[in-house]
Amino acid sequence: MRTQLAEIEQAALREAKTLATLREVEQLKVKYLGKKGLVTGILRGMGQLSPEERPLVGQLANRVKKGIESALDELAGKLAQKELDEKLLKEKIDITLPPRLIKLGKKHILSQVREEIEDVLIEMGFAIAEGPEVELDYYNFKSLNFPDEHPARDMQDTFYLQDDVLLRTHTSSVQIRTMEKLKPPVKIISPGKVYRCDYDNTHSPMFMQVEGLYVDKGVTFAQLKGVLNLFYRKIFGEEVKTRFRPSFFPFTEPSAEVDVSCVICRGEGCRVCQGTGWLEIMGAGMVDPNVFDFVGYDSEEYSGFAFGLGVDRVAMLKYGIDNIRLLYENDLRFLRQF
């Protein structure tokens, strides 16, 4: 048995030298030291030995077992380190390489311009008011002093949903809804989408407006001009010029259309301003006393001004965009420029 043990030890140590993986080490451990292993077999067979021989062989067998165990443990340690080194080498990351570019989303140009317009007006003391896009004829037309069948309704090509329900054609409807709820002074802007059956390079069936309304005692047209001149300078820069042209809106009297000098050609005439040097951006005027009657304001005591501008037109002018459709086509190559 002693010779057998010595041979087993030598064989185990010889085989250990040929091993290359942790798995093989584990298999060898089972072969020699496992339940049915060679060394365990010897230990089991010790019952047949004489009482004198038993402790001697027992000691030897234990020594051989420990010797094999520690040789294999040492080998396993080395192989584990080797496998770890190889893995680390394979997974090595070169932190000096430039990263792949992540394309971040950003706000649509119309939202950017709308927010810029809102910020300028909020700074001047206006608060934001909102109203529905599906509107009653009463708020979109009638209470704004458009009599039934009056030709002024033709100025805004309307999408009707039912006889008296429509897609709002302007955000002026929010004027009435707000004045119904609040007593003067009222100083609001109402930004939002509006809809008209209208389609060419500068007109879109859905576009965005910002309406402004200021009602208080002693509000004047001069204040309206002051607010709008300051507004345009803040949006387009100090050198921009404004022009007020007499116009007509049923809900304002007097009324004006406000043009700004074309920021693309600096007033010299180009495709966008159709050679005139000016671009129409908004309608404005003093609130008609008839509108005050609809909401129960005393027109002897209060006066007010209102204005409504097209956000799309402002965006086109600010960024030199010559076709309004580009704003709604969602072409990322176009949108990423802003």
Contacting residues toward ligand FA5, per CB under 6 A: 156, 170, 172, 196, 198, 203-204, 207, 209, 211, 249, 252, 255, 280-285, 306-310, 312-313, 324
Q: Which two tokens stand for residue 51?
A: 């009482």
Q: Residue 174's closest CA among 201, 192, 161? A: 192
d(CA 44, CA 208) in angstroms, rounded, equals 93
Residue 121: which residues within 8 A CB-CB, separation 6 or more? 189, 210, 212, 231
135 or 211, CB closer to ligand FA5?
211
Provide, rounded to whole angstroms, the least separation between the CB of residue 143 and ligand FA5: 13
Provide, rounded to whole angstroms, the least separation between the CB of residue 93 and ligand FA5: 52
Provide, rounded to whole angstroms, the least separation between the CB of residue 187 and ligand FA5: 14
64 or 315, CB closer to ligand FA5?
315
Q: Which two tokens stand for residue 255?
A: 């009324």
For 285, phi then psi, to 5°, come to 165, 180
73 or 130, CB closer to ligand FA5?
130
16 or 190, CB closer to ligand FA5?
190
Produce one character per residue of 116-142: b if its CB has 16 or more CB atoms within 10 Å, e if not. bbbebbeeeebeebebeeebbbebbbb
> DSSP per residue over 41-100, as a string?
HHHHGGGGS-TTHHHHHHHHHHHHHHHHHHHHHHHHHHHHHHHHHHHHHHT---TTSPPP
Q: Residue 279's closest CA among 289, 300, 298, 265? A: 265
Provide, rounded to whole angstroms, the least separation between the CB of residue 222 and ligand FA5: 16
Provide, rounded to whole angstroms, the least separation between the CB of residue 333 and ligand FA5: 23
d(CA 285, CA 251) in angstroms, rounded, equals 8
40 or 112, CB closer to ligand FA5?
112
Provide, rounded to whole angstroms, the least separation between the CB of residue 234 and ligand FA5: 18
68 or 282, CB closer to ligand FA5?
282
Residue nearest to ligand FA5 (CB): 310
32 or 139, CB closer to ligand FA5?
139
Provide, rounded to whole angstroms, the least separation between the CB of residue 102 and ligand FA5: 35
SS3 223: helix
Is residue 210 within 8 A of residue 114, CB to CB? The reply is yes
**In terms of DSSP bridges, do strands 186-195 and 127-128 run parallel, antiparallel, or are they unpaired?**
parallel
